[in-house]
Every structure is written in structure tokens, then in C-alpha cells.
A = this chain, B = another copy of it.
Amino acid sequence: MPGTVTAAALIIGNEILSGRTQDQNLSFLGERLGEMGIRLKEARVVSDDADDIAAALDALRARYDYVFTTGGIGPTHDDITADSVARAFGVGIDYHPEVYAMLKTWFESIGQEANEARMRMARIPDGASLLDNELTLAPGFQIENVFVLAGVPSIARKMFDGAKKRLTGGDPVCSRAIKVHVGEGAVAEELGAIQDIFPDIDIGSYPWSKDGAYGTSLVMRGTRPARVDEAFAAVLEMAERLGGNPREE
């Protein structure tokens, strides 16, 4: 029995907090981890500040089975994630010989100087193992239960693929959803009563509106498919009775 496996995300970067860049990694991590039965329970977004990164990382890695960081592993002065992670774990950080050699060869092969900034991407905390990706030679890395991924969404996704085989999944979460054409207020009381009958099912209610129409999406999530189906049936019966013109989403 795998049981419940939890994770947190640590999104690193001033550009996310300033609103300049819309984060695209949190929803991706939540979805992909969920498919593996790993529940993303918390996320934090912090600026490019070593103290803030280390403090958030320490809080999250102690509490959750896995932590995934995104951002701050490039070559510029504001890329301080690797150093901050090393600090949080109280380990040293140095050029990783294999990555150093690989990056140096590659930069020289394309006629670019293997300058100090570019080679910063070879700096990996002591004891970390590499997370390769198919798009760049600069790796992410894993240290204990922390996985350090790039901020660029396409690269973060490839690094996550590299991390997947190292993760122990939990009970897979399955979900069913019903779209109704009445507001939350019309279903709320009975929905709450159904939630009380199914404490093992996470029943969510989300308003929607489109082209002047409005209604509610009702989502049932749980690890036992038969129970999700039972909750689904109860919610469907309720929605039909209340005239919500329900459809499975």
C-alpha cells in the first residue's frame, strides 16, 4: 500500500512576483504529480534572495515527501538557486567535473567562450545527482528529497521527466467532474451534505461563467475509484433533481 505521498513546489524568481512573468510550472507540477498519486500540498513563490530561498526550502523539505524548485539555475548573477540549496543543506558547492567538461567542450564546439558565467551552470551542490534534460546541457539536480528544475517551462518539463523514475508514487488519485448550469448557492447545502457522507472524497465546487451563461463545476477526487463513482452518482442525482442540467466534464 503506497499510501499518501506529498510534495511542495518552490517557485523562485523576482519576475514571477513582479507580475512580469506568468508562472506556468505550478499547474504543470500539480497535474503531473497528481497522475503519479503524489499530492502537491503547498507552493511558495520567493524572490531571488538566498536567505528567503533557503528558509522556504528548509520549511518545505522537512514537511513534505518531495520538493520541486523551479528557476534560478542559469548563468547570470540573479541565478542563485544552486548556492541557496547548498546553504540550506549545509553542504559545499563546486564545479561538477562531468558537467564542467561537457559544457566546456560544447561551448568551444559552437565557438563560444567557456566563460565563468557560462560555467556557473556546472556548479552543483556536493552530494547532488544530476537531472538531465533533452533541450540543454545544463542539468537540474536532486539532493535528498529536493529536485531543482529550470524556470523555463519547456526545460522544467524535460527535467521533471528525468526525475520521474526516482519518485515513489502514492495511491493514484482519480477524479470525475460534473458541470451544472446553476450557481454554487443552489447546490451548496446538499453538496455539503454529500461531502459529509464521503469524507474520503475531496469534493470541490468552482463557479464558471461563459458567454453570459454561468454555473458550477463539481469535482470529486479520491484514491478509491468505486468511492469516487459513488460520490459522482450522488452529486449527479442531486444536480438533476435541482434542475442543473448536469453533464459529466
Contact = CB atoms under 8 A, between A and B. Distances in A.
Interface in A2-50: 9, 14-24, 26-32, 34, 39-48
Nearest to A186: B112
B117 A76 contact: no
A184 interface: yes
Tell me the interface secondary structure of chain A in the complex. mixed
A192 B16 CA distance: 21
Given A29-B19, A205-B76, A117 B188 contact: yes
Contacts of A107: 185
Contacts of A74: 184, 188, 205, 207
A112 B41 CA distance: 36
A78 B192 CA distance: 8
Task: Quickly give the copy total for this chain.
Answer: 2
Contact of A188 (B21, B75, B221): B75
| Contact size range, A | 35 or more
Nearest to A206: B15
Given A19-B34, A26-B23, A30-B16, A191 B76 contact: yes
Nearest to A21: B206
B17 A45 contact: no
B117 A189 contact: yes
16 contacts: A14-B202, A14-B204, A17-B40, A19-B29, A19-B30, A20-B30, A20-B206, A22-B24, A42-B52, A75-B184, A75-B188, A78-B204, A112-B186, A115-B188, A117-B188, A117-B189
